[in-house]
Amino acid sequence: MTLNNPQRGRLGPHELKEAELMRLGQKEVAFFYADYPEEYLKEIRKNIENGSFESLQLEDNNGLIVWLPGAEQKALRLAELVRFGRQHGYVESAEREIGQILGYSEVDIDYYIEHVRSHFQATSITL
């Protein structure tokens, strides 16, 4: 779902455009939940197969992390943060770092966090 408020930010501005953004060098790392529509992953998988992108399937098939060559450390950190989130729930500092790794602007990250705060109780765990 994409929510857009031009003055405050956007949620999901990269959705369904990840492969294009990565090919253009505008996005280094992408994350796909296990329920992401397979038809949108075809182009991503083609780029993985031809070596343009690298990937990591998370445990229990719970998601796929894809990155450009040279961004492996960011991708591995994202995997740590996703695992942390699954274990501890919503932690604002982790969500903020995930947004940064995924290439979102600070305005978009702030807007996302503001949106999520209304649905989850923020935890004060520091990473």
Residues 33-72 pLDDT 10s: 888 888 889 999 999 999 999 999 998 878 999 999 999 9
Residue 2 pLDDT class (50, 70, 90 cuts): very low
What's residue 23's pLDDT?
Answer: 93
Nearest residue to 55 via CA among 30, 82, 19, 83: 30
Question: What does the pLDDT average to over 23-41?
Answer: 91
Cα–Cα distance, 14 to 27 (Å, whole number): 9
Cα–Cα distance, 45 to 58 (Å, whole number): 15
Indicate the pTM of the whole model.
Answer: 0.81
Question: What does the pLDDT average to over 20-43?
Answer: 92
What's residue 1's pLDDT?
Answer: 38
pLDDT digits (tens, 9 = 90+) for 44-54: 999 999 999 99
The DSSP bridge pattern shows strands 29-33 and 9-11 to be unpaired
What's residue 22's pLDDT?
Answer: 95
